[in-house]
Amino acid sequence: MAKFKCKVCGYVYDEDNGEKRRDLAAGTKWDDVPDTFKCPSCGAPKKSFVAI
């Protein structure tokens, strides 16, 4: 599973863990995360994330 880092604040979205605060179950692939996703730490849009 992959990880994606917010370029604004450094928050890391880990596909293995998902994101409870955004109702994304563990195992949710980044491609399946909605384009409306906002960083749960700083509110940056999905386009602000890069693969790590």
Residues annotated within the binding site are 6, 9, 39, 42
Write the CB contacts of 32 (distance below 8 Å, at least 6 apart in sequence): none
Annotated binding-site residue numbers for Fe cation: 6, 9, 39, 42
Terminal Cα distance for the chain, rounded: 11
Residue 49 C-beta-side C-alpha neighbours within 13 Å: 26
